[in-house]
Amino acid sequence: MPRQAGGVAPARRQVAGAEPAEPAPVPTEAEQTLCSAFHGARVTSEVGSLRRVLVHRPGEELERLLPDNHRDLLFDDIPWLHAAQAEHDTFTSLLRGEGAEVVELTTVLAAALADPGAREELATAAADGGRLGRPLAAAVRQHLLEAEAGPLARRLLRGITLGELQEWAPHRTRYALAASTRPPEWFVLPPLVNSLFVRDSSSWIDGVCGTHHMSSAARFFEGRQLRTVMRVAGADDVWAGATPPVAMEGGDLLLLGEGCVLIGIGERTTPAAAEAFAQRLLTTGAARRVFGVIMPRERQSMHLDTVMTMVDRETFLVSNVHEQRCHYVELSLARQGEVRAVPLDDPFASFAGALGLPALRRVETGGDDFGTRREQWSDSANVLALRPGTVVAYDRNTVANQRLDEAGIEVLVIPSSELIRGRGGPHCLTCPLLRDR
């Protein structure tokens, strides 16, 4: 229909005897929240000006960490929640001050859980009958379904102990065998303590979302939640219909720009996942070229973004200690649609050619052996680009930050004494939803 000046459609003429047109349904508050967060989401590079970003402020889930469980939950120490929240607040204040809209994970999760189907989906998924037994799983599911959307979102993140479930639903847990064989502090629903590292559970590649199957049991439900959120939000998921699920995490993805993607293959992302992801990106046109970097399977290099990040359109920050032990391939489609891995002798020259640049620049985190290894442990190569040539870094990584400054990169630092205890830097703490091209 032709539109009048100003973009307003002319009123329809009512035909005699015809039923009046039904007014369009008014979006609910939850629908508006999801639309505001994800409508128009598009990310084509690591360094385009950041306009909208998903984060998670550390919550009560961190207070579930104990001396005897923190390693199973992938933390190297027990953070002080109050200080971790203060550090994260400093970070998000900086993001807002630099022009980015900050979207909180708990808010969009609660909005999605206003949908009855989403509540049923996640309550059923959280009630793991294979682990809990049928009576206890039924009690967990029912308990979750009885909560309102906001409290339910917080409960899914915080986790539930057996003692809490017995207190809330004594009649449902009394005769469950697991209830008589486990201590009260046993988690019937484990806390999602790694949720603050939102980079890993989902990624945006151009205008398509990827909600990932996490490699560790401690993080499995993070990806499950995001799949439900994106389904309710109506986002296209590059993994839709993928069977069987393969382990991949968003920290292993770097969007080089110009339709080129680099996938890390190591501790958290399997070769099978990298092949499947490359195939989907290339066949759907979400990517033009896909490269892979095969990394040591070590905690210090658990993700690609612990080894390197981009700080400008032609500049990488690289942890030389770990990057020199990597080797690279290009993942391309063979005639039958299968993926083939072709080794690269000079990977950064290949990246430059794919990006249409004469060369790429590398800034190495550097320092002596002791300094390099210490700063790598605190994610010196893991920085977040706010725009080309401006990054956020942890204050503690003084050598790497000085190297960036000498290379002409503006470095904005944030405190990190508590946030680093989960082994994640500013890049890990964010999932960009919208960047300028």
Contacts by 286-289, CB closer than 8 A, 24 or more apart: 286/205, 286/206, 286/208, 286/238, 287/205, 287/206, 287/259, 287/260, 287/261, 288/258, 288/259, 288/260, 288/354, 289/259, 289/260, 289/261, 289/330, 289/332, 289/354
Angle of helix 220-233 relative to helix 29-38, nearest 10 degrees, comes to 110
Task: Write down the residue that tokens 């009123």 correspond to.
Answer: 11
- CA-closest candidate to residue 332, choices 278, 295, 294: 278
Catalytic residue among 209, 260, 326, 428: 428
- For residue 212, what are the CA distances in angstroms to 39, 203, 230, 334? 20, 8, 12, 25
Return the half-sphere exposure (C-beta side, CA atoms, 13 A cut-off) of residue 92. 22
Q: What gap in Å lies between CA 347 and CA 327, rounded to an integer?
A: 8
Contact call for residues 212 and 223 (beta carbons, < 8 A): yes
Q: Give the dihedral sign, CA 120/126/131/135.
A: negative
Annotated active-site residue 428? The verdict is: yes
Q: DSSP characters for 287-326? A: -SEEEEEE--SSGGGSSGGGTEEEEETTEEEE-HHHHTT-
- For residue 274, what are the CA distances in angstroms to 141, 179, 209? 34, 41, 16
Q: What gap in Å lies between CA 299 and CA 75, rounded to an integer?
A: 11
For 285-308, letters b (16+ CB in 10 Å) and e give ebbebbbbbbbeeeebbbbbbbbb
- Residues designated as active site: 428
